[in-house]
Amino acid sequence: MKKNISYPAVMTGLFCAFLGLGAALSVFMPRRTFSETENRYLAKRPALTWEAVKSGKFGSDYEIYLSDQFPFRDSWIGFKTAAEKIQLKKEINGVFLGKDGYLIEAFYAEDMDPELSKKNLDALAAFALRQEALLGDGHVKVLLAPTASEILTEKLPASASPFSQAAATDFLEKAGLSSMLVPVRDALLQEEADGPDRPLYYRTDHHWTASGAYTAYQAWASASGLTSLEPSGFSVETVSEDFLGTIHSRLNVPVKPDSIELYRPIQEPEWSVFYDGSQEPVHSLYSMEALKTRDKYRVFLDGNHGLTRIVNPQADSGGKLLIIKDSYAHCFAPFAALHFPETLMIDLRYYNGRLGDLIQEQEITDVLVLYQIPGFLKDRNISKLVWG
């Protein structure tokens, strides 16, 4: 007598066959080390050791490796997203499908490691208090930038409930940093409520736009006792209208691209920019060649570098500014650098020197710590702030 094969069994078999075929193809297809679409390095094949197998680490690492190297990965991501959109899902792969075409990164409290978050905030508080004691009141500022989910709340789906990022600044206030905190959240919320002329955040990327950075710059300048350059002092130039950012890469479906705008001072200084200790300066704050690549946001100060030095011979004040930062600072620094003859930028992911020594040797007069809040809470390099 023939045995009936159930529908679930057939689907399970087809799914296993699909995975097996994908795994087999991945053996013969060339290994990819970097994904232009996702703008990140892909997982390498893990080393097979007894300890790794025993602990289960080899299995989990190999699963990540197979996922990253799966044949036609980008196309399958798009197919999966399309299927989930048909099901009317409003959050896919950690992204809220917001109103007006906004793709907004979803952050939840459970995404954060409470121990690491507290460790990072403690390190920042200790560093800021120590540097203020050395440099003087008003010379150390902390700008923790909220992401789009905190500011563009009207764009979120009705069911969205991301965690409140204000808890990070509340912690720092209680740690004694109230006078150092730049009220950037209030400035962005007010600008959004007033109806900004230009978007404050990209629709397809996790960064704020140059307009968002300009709003933050005004708040920082006011808190620092500086006079910010008025909007009329800039010409705004659209340099790209086909930017698809890192959040789009998680979904890989057709969307309207973003525009990238540059705020150029009408009386622009004769910049000299030195990357990672180079003795040969670049005479622009913008890497226009990056606009020909997938990672167009790299147009701002050529993307990630361990140490960037900006020289402005036409600065309106003295002193030296040190910005300790993530990539949110890349479109912010062109504004801040207008006020200092020299501005240094440090990315702790790529810089391993002792910050205390750098501040002393370079005769730094002002310090700004600028990070996106969720990124700061999850960054495992923040401990470098307390190295010395």
Query: What's residue 218's pLDDT?
Result: 98
Pairing mode, strands 342-346 and 307-311? antiparallel
Is 241 inside a domain boundary? yes
Q: Are both 9 and 152 inside the same structural domain?
A: no
pTM over 0.85: no
Looking at residue 204, its pLDDT comes to: 97
Q: Which of 16-25, 117-126, 174-183, 279-288 has the lowest mean pLDDT?
A: 16-25
Stronger pLDDT, 67 or 110, i.e. the higher one = 110
| 65 and 110 within one domain | no
Which residues constitute the domain of residue 298? 103-386
User: What is the sign of the dihedral through the CA atoms of 248, 165, 325 and 186?
Assistant: positive
- At residue 39, does pLDDT exceed 90? no
C-alpha atoms less than 13 angstroms from C-alpha of 57 in its C-beta half-sphere:
8
> Is 13 part of a structural domain of the chain?
yes
The answer, yes or no, to whether residue 274 has pLDDT greater than 80, is yes
pLDDT of residue 56: 72
The pLDDT score that the predictor gives to residue 77 is 52
- Which of 142, 194, 196 minimizes the C-alpha distance to 170? 142
User: Within this chain, do residues 155 and 35 fall inside the same structural domain, yes or no?
Assistant: no
Instruction: Say what the pLDDT of residue 15 is.
Output: 47
pLDDT tens digits for 103-157? 999 999 998 999 999 999 999 999 999 999 999 999 999 999 999 999 999 999 9
Between the alpha carbon of residue 179 and those of residues 119, 124, 132, the distances in Å are 21, 14, 11
Q: Which of 50, 70, 90 is the last residue of a domain?
A: 70
For the chain, counts of helices (H) and of strands (E)? 13, 13
Q: 217 and 129 in one domain?
A: yes
Q: Is residue 181 part of a domain?
A: yes
At which of 20, 53, 70 does a domain end? 70
- Asked if 131 and 258 sit in the same domain, the reply is yes
Number of domains in the chain: 2
207 with 64, same domain: the answer is no
112 domain-assigned: yes
Q: Are 85 and 349 in contact (CB under 8 A)?
A: no
pLDDT value of residue 90: 75
**pLDDT tens-place string over residues 158-205:** 989 999 999 999 999 999 999 999 999 999 999 999 999 999 999 999
Q: Is the pLDDT of residue 284 over 50?
A: yes
What angle (nearest 5°) sits at the alpha carbon of residue 110, between those of residues 109 and 112? 75
Same domain, 333 and 222: yes
1 has a pLDDT exceeding 50: no
Q: Which residues pair with 92 in a beta bridge?
A: 95
The answer to whether residues 151 and 44 belong to one domain is no
> How far is residue 307's CA from residue 351's CA, in Å, rounded to a whole number?
7
